[in-house]
Every structure is written in structure tokens, then in C-alpha cells.
Amino acid sequence: MLQSLHVKNLALMEETFVTFGEGLNILTGETGAGKSLLLGSVNLALGAKFEKEMLRKGTEQALVELTFTGNEKVREKLLAMELEPQEDGSVLIARKMQVGKSVFRVNGEVVTAKQVKELAEVLIDIHGQHEHQSLLHKKKHLEILDAFGGRDAQEALEDVSKAYHAWKALEKKLGEEGLDEKERAREQSLAEYEVREIEEATPRIGEDEELEEQYRRMVNGQKIMEALSESYSYTSGDGAGSALSRALRALGSISGFDKRLAELEEQLSEVDSLLADYNRDLADYMEDVTYDEAALRQTEDRLNLINRLKEKYGNTIEEILAYGETRREYLEKLADYDAYLAKLKDDEAKAKKQLDKACDVLGSIRRKNAKTLTGLLTAALEQLNFLKVDFEIHVEKLENPTEKGADDVEFLISTNPGEERRPLGMVASGGELSRIMLAIKTVLAKRDEVDALIFDEIDAGISGRTAWQVSRQLGKVSTAHQVICITHLPQIAAMADSHYLIEKNTDGSSTATDVRLLTEEEATRELARLLGGDGLSEAAITNAMEMRKQAHSQKEED
């Protein structure tokens, strides 16, 4: 569950720290107090887009931190993402934001926004103010049905996706083929020329580097010889070699008088020996350095040939050789093109058959789950004060498969006696869509291992008895999950296990939004305000107390 939220320097929030409890957490407040800002800060921590206007005036960076309790599934997810779980199993997600830059951390380790979103999938489910509008699109209906299907549906969906992409690759390859005799002859002639050119050149890996070094040495042969001759003159003959010999003889005449002198003689003898070795190696090198114009021209021609091959077939000799191998394989294909084309068609047909089979398996799972989900959603909707519920999840097979399978899924409903089932967008109002989404969340929550659910104004467009039914449904969900709900309805607020007030305060020079947990007495007074009590009279307070008592009595019954 979501243990705590820490926000700093975000819009009207100077610094806010909220600790949430188990069960149903209700947040209320005056219009404009910043209720949406609270949910927005959670979304920011989980990867939502950050705008510079979100920074609190006069500050340069903002911070949002979320702390979640963990479970075995969360631990497995962290390890799969190569992130270290904390000793107590909790998960700390933090995002530091400034203009042009954001840094995400999970348990102190820097991560990407994509990784945070992936982790959030097993931590929290957020239902925003307008998410119920997504029910107007059939794509959402398919997602809901597959989510209800659990692991079996997901594995079948993965099989379909793999089979689809394998088939599309072969289909594309087949579409690129179809050469006529003239085109095939032209392609064959070009490939033969390219293979022959590479084979005749016989390039060797590393040859280009050797040639370039050899070429540099040849081109600079005269300069190299002059420098070597000058060095040799300084170190041999009348140069350093002769001087060292005289110095060594002088030391040898006195080395017997002192042990230290003998050591110095030995050191100088080593220097003399090293210099003699150097002069011999230098002389040998000078004998090998010859300027051969024919050899230079041959090296230059070979380098030019290698470079021409690079311009045509690859930047390195490895790439040239790989290109030659590819063209040889292409020649083999062209040599027996009809057989190759027949095999490609056969492979494409087999891949399509494999895709159809995977789609059938997924379709069977979907149809089975559609019946079960239809019954569960119908029951959930009946508890949300619909006059009549005739609900169906219609699954129809598509002619052309996609990576999502070969099924068209649509939710149909009739909410009034005598009316036929029709698509949600043709029947349901905004308030009804909101209740349908709550029913869906309620049913999915029973199968979902995500501990925390957030509802932002799930009560849009409802009131009276319907509000009580929504309140009761949220209470039921909160027995198995932590629910955090932002509301303006007293019927829902009365069901709270923990009630928080979002309020805006000012000192005359600045304004700040804060969130605080209410005591029993304060929660009752806030409920009286939501009921519209004038001046919070004793009657309004009594009414609020009765409503809280009724709500908790219902929760105990459920």
C-alpha cells in the first residue's frame, strides 16, 4: 500500500507530508484547495510530464517522494529490474524536478521514467477524473477483458504477438520478392560482379592498417634515414661510445681501491653494453630501410584498391567480407529462385496458420472470461443503483488478425426496461460511465495483486441513493485493498477509515496548500460542511454524526 507522500515546492505545496492508512482513505476540501494537485503529485512521481509552471513561485526545484509497503510480487519485480529491495520490503520512489531536468530514484538508485512506470504497475492503480471516458472506446474494453483474464490471457496474448510479427516479417519479405526473368538476370550479373571483385582482391583483416603503416614508412624513408644516421653518429665511433670507453678505462684503473668504485664501474659497464646493443640494432634497422619506388607504388596501389572496396562495400575489411558473403548467399538464392520463392510462400503460410492457431486459443480464453466477467459486472452494477442492468461483453471474430489477436470486443448495456443492449457511448451518461468504471475496478481488484487504488472524484454526476451505493462499493473494495479517494460527496466521505482535509492557507504574502489527518471530531465537522450545513449548526453536526454512524454500520454488515 501507499504509506506516505512527501511533496516539496510543487505549485501551492510548500512542503507536505501525508501518512496514509489501511482501508478507505478519504480526501476532501473546498473547491480550489488543491485536491487535483495531490493526485497530480503522485502521477509526477510515477513519470507524468513535468512543466516548469508546476514549480512553486520563487523556487528552482521540486521533490515528490512516495513510500510503498512491499510484497513478494513487488520484490520479484524489483529483482527482475535489477533493483535492490530494502530490508523492510518497502519501496521508495523519488523524483527531483527542475526546469529541463528530472531525476528518478528507486530505493536510492537512479532509474529511468520507463522503469518507474513499469514498477508502478505492481504498486498502484490510479483512476483519474476522466478515465471513465475511455470506456467509450472499444480498445479499452479489450484491455479490461484481457486484464481480467490474468496470466493465461497474457501468455496467450504474448504468443499471438510473437506469431503475428513472425508472420508479418515473412509476408513483407515475400512482398519484396517477385523478380521477372530480366530483373533476375540483372540482379545476378551485379551480384556476380561484386563477389568476383571482392574475391579477386582477397582482402585480409588487419591488412589495411599494416599497409598504411608501411606506406607512411616508405613515403618518409629519406627523412627517417637522415635522423637515424645523425643518431648513429652521436652514439658510436668518436661519439658517446668512444667517450664511454675512455670513462670505463679510467674507472677500471681505480676500482680496486674501494668497493663503491667497483659498483660504479659495474653500472657504467652496463651503460656501455646497452649503448653497444642500441648501435647494433640501429645499424641493422638502417640496412633494412631502403627506398624502393616500385615497392612504394605497389603499396600505394594496394591501399587504393582496399579503399575503393571500402567506399563500395563497407567501412572496414570485416564489413567488406561480410557483404561478399551476403551477396554469395543471394546468388545461391537466384540460382534456384523458383524453389526459394516456393519455400518462402510455404513458410509464410505456415506462419499464418500458427498465428491463426494462437488467435483461436486467445479467442477461446476471451469468450470464456467474457461470460464470467459479464456475470460479475452485472452483479456489481446492480449494487450501484441502476434501475435495470442488461449487460453483455460481445466478442466477435475479426477477419484479419492483429498483434492483439482476432477478436473485436465491445461492452453493450441496457439500463432501462424494454430497451435493447447498445454500445456504452450510445447509452450511458457521464455519471453512469463513472459507476460502470467503479464496477470494473471493483471486480478487477479482487483478482489484482496491486494493493493501492486511487479514485479521483469517482462520484462525478451522482447523488442521493446512488451516492450511498457507490460509497458502499468503495467500502467493500477497501476491505481487501487500500483505497485513496478524493470526493465532494458526504455519503462517500462518511465511509472513511481515515479522513484527510486538503486546505489552502495564506499569511497575506504567500499561499500554501496542505493536507492533514482529521480527528473524529474534525471529520464530523468536515462532513457537516459537505452536507451544506449553514454555519455548522448543532443540527448539521448531529446529521453528520448520524451519517457516519450509518456508513460504518453498512460497512460492518458488508
C-alpha cell at 377: 459486472
pLDDT tens-place string over residues 169-194: 999 988 777 667 787 788 888 988 99
Q: Could you tell me the CA-to-CA distances from 278 to 242, 243, 272, 288, 326 in Å, in that order?
A: 14, 16, 10, 16, 51
Q: What are phi and psi for residue 493, nearest 5 degrees? A: -60, -30
Q: From CA 179, how far away is CA 342, in angstroms rounded? A: 13
Q: Give which of 45, 60, 16, 166 is closest to 113, Cα–Cα.
A: 45
Task: Give the DSSP letter string of 195-228.
Answer: HHHHHHH---TTHHHHHHHHHHHHHTHHHHHHHH
Instruction: Tell me whether residue 104 is exposed, middle or buried, using C-beta atoms within 10 angstroms of its C-beta: 0 to 12, 13 to 18, 19 or more.
Output: buried
C-alpha cell at 151: 496470466
Task: Give the DSSP letter string of 494-520.
Answer: TT-SEEEEEEEEE-SS-EEEEEEEPPH
State the pLDDT at residue 518.
Answer: 94
CATH architecture of 2-123+450-557: 3-Layer(aba) Sandwich (3.40)
Q: From CA 330, how far away is CA 187, in angstroms rounded? A: 9
State the pLDDT at residue 206.
Answer: 92
Tally Cβ neighbours within 10 Å of residue 108.
10
Q: How many helices (H) and strands (E) does the chain have?
A: 18, 15
Helix axes 207-219, 293-313, angle to 10 degrees: 140
Do residues 541 and 490 make contact, with C-beta atoms less than 8 angstroms apart? no
Give all strands of the β-sheet with 91-98 in edge-to-edge order.
Answer: 13-19, 2-10, 61-68, 91-98, 101-106, 109-111
pLDDT tens-place string over residues 310-335: 999 999 999 999 999 999 888 888 87
C-alpha cell at 415: 439500463
Start-end of H helices in 415-537: 424-427, 430-447, 464-477, 490-493, 520-530
Q: From CA 186, how far away is CA 188, in angstroms rounded? A: 5
State the pLDDT at residue 505.
Answer: 83
C-alpha cell at 29: 476540501
Q: Give which of 252, 251, 248 is closest to 276, Cα–Cα.
A: 248
3-state secondary structure of 61: strand
The enclosing H or E element of 66 equals strand 61-68
Q: From CA 485, how far away is CA 499, in angstroms rounded? A: 10
Q: From CA 502, how far away is CA 101, in angstroms rounded? A: 29
Q: From CA 103, how far away is CA 101, in angstroms rounded? A: 7
Do residues 351 and 163 make contact, with C-beta atoms less than 8 angstroms apart? yes
State the pLDDT at residue 134.
Answer: 74
pLDDT tens per residue, the chain (558 residues)? 999 999 999 988 888 999 999 999 999 988 777 777 888 899 999 998 998 888 988 898 999 999 999 888 888 899 999 998 888 889 999 999 998 889 999 999 999 999 999 999 889 888 766 666 778 888 889 989 998 998 899 999 999 999 999 999 999 988 777 667 787 788 888 988 999 999 999 999 999 999 988 888 777 776 777 787 888 888 877 778 788 888 888 888 888 888 888 888 888 888 888 888 888 888 888 877 666 778 878 888 999 999 999 999 999 999 999 999 999 888 888 877 778 788 889 999 999 999 999 999 999 999 999 999 999 999 888 888 777 888 999 999 999 999 999 999 999 988 877 788 888 878 777 777 778 888 888 888 777 667 888 888 677 667 778 888 888 888 888 888 899 998 888 999 999 999 999 988 887 777 888 899 999 999 999 999 888 755 677 888 888 899 888 888 877 776
Note the maximum CA span of the chain.
Answer: 130
Q: From CA 52, how far away is CA 177, in angstroms rounded? A: 52
Do residues 390 and 412 make contact, with C-beta atoms less than 8 angstroms apart? no
